[in-house]
Amino acid sequence: MADHITIREAEGTWTVRAGGAVIGESRQALELREGDQAPVIYFPREDIAMAFLDTSEKTSHCPYKGDARYYSVVTKSRTLEDAVLSYESPKEEVGAIRGYLAFNPIEEITIERI
């Protein structure tokens, strides 16, 4: 693994809300820390209501994690473009995040431990 990336189990139960609605809850979330950046919580795909997510055309590349695919979150009032990312085939060193989703902590999305 890249020296500056650590992945560990995120203790407790985590929820993600979009537009006020709970779209995921997990006891198997992972916490990824990269350098001095804020930790990112990754949710197992099976713990997310995927009906709220639409595949986006956006992609990006991280030299340490690999290629990311994005999703938009559809709420009652609007679509939150490119608000979720997933490393479908991450680099071996961070393979633990395969099948997991990370949500951008924007105003309409909240991620919290309950």
Write out the residue range of the structural domain in which residue 77 sits: 5-113
What pLDDT was estimated at residue 2? 62
CATH number of the CATH domain containing 45: 2.170.150.40
pTM of the model: 0.94
As for how many domains the chain has, the answer is 1
What is the Cα–Cα distance from 110 to 79, expressed in whole angstroms? 15
Distance of alpha carbon 16 from alpha carbon 5, whole angstroms = 23
pLDDT in tens, 33-64: 999 999 999 999 999 999 999 999 999 999 99
pLDDT digits (tens, 9 = 90+) for 90-113: 999 999 999 999 999 888 999 999
